């Protein structure tokens, strides 16, 4: 162990249990797990590219061996569903979140429409017109 590793305290990683599966949801916890050398497998999808397997997002799925390693290093905090719902969420924060979510959806919808229009224009631009032929004299 190097002196830098010994000097820095190990940050606890919050792991949610879903049946026998260990999931890491928060970005800070994913970064902490990766800094400890754990790789895991990202399972979620990104909003603009929902089926792109090369760029997946949270949650991070941990293998049983990775979870055991976290426990041995003293960096494992198991989060249960009850402890997550015990924290009261102010109503205005929920409304603000939903408003931001709707605004993001509208922005993504406009961008997707622009992407589709650009693709159609590119496709139309590559088609030969009625007066042109593919063969040149």
Pair (103, 64) in one structural domain: no
Q: Is the pLDDT of residue 20 over 90?
A: no
Is 50 part of a structural domain of the chain?
A: yes
Is 105 part of a structural domain of the chain?
A: yes
Pair (16, 66) in one structural domain: yes
Q: Is the pLDDT of residue 95 over 50?
A: yes
Pair (36, 81) in one structural domain: yes
pTM: 0.47
Sheet holding 41-44, edge to edge: 41-44, 57-62, 21-24, 13-18, 76-79
- Domain extent, residue 14, equals 10-85
What percentage of residues in the chain have a pLDDT greater than 70?
69
Pair (75, 93) in one structural domain: no
Pair (32, 79) in one structural domain: yes
Nearest of 19, 11, 22, 17 to residue 62 by alpha carbon = 22
Is 102 part of a structural domain of the chain?
A: yes
Pair (81, 93) in one structural domain: no
The most confident of the ranges 23-37, 53-67, 76-90 is 23-37
CA–CA gap between residue 40 and residue 43 (Å, rounded) = 10
Pair (78, 105) in one structural domain: no
- Confidence (pLDDT) at 78: 78
């Amino acid at each position: 162990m190097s002196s830098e590793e010994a000097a820095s305290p190990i940050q606890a990683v919050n792991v949610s249990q879903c049946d026998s599966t260990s999931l890491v949801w928060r970005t800070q916890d994913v970064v902490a797990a990766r800094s400890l050398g754990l790789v895991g497998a990202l399972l979620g999808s990104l909003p603009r590219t929902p089926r792109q397997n090369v760029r997946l997002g949270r949650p991070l799925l941990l293998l049983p061996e990775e979870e055991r390693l976290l426990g041995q290093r003293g960096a494992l905090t198991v989060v249960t569903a009850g402890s997550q719902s015990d924290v009261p969420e102010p109503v205005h924060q929920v409304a603000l979140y939903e408003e931001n979510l709707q605004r993001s959806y509208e922005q993504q919808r406009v961008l997707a429409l622009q992407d589709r229009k650009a693709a159609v224009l590119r496709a139309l631009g590559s088609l030969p017109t009625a007066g042109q032929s593919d063969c040149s004299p």
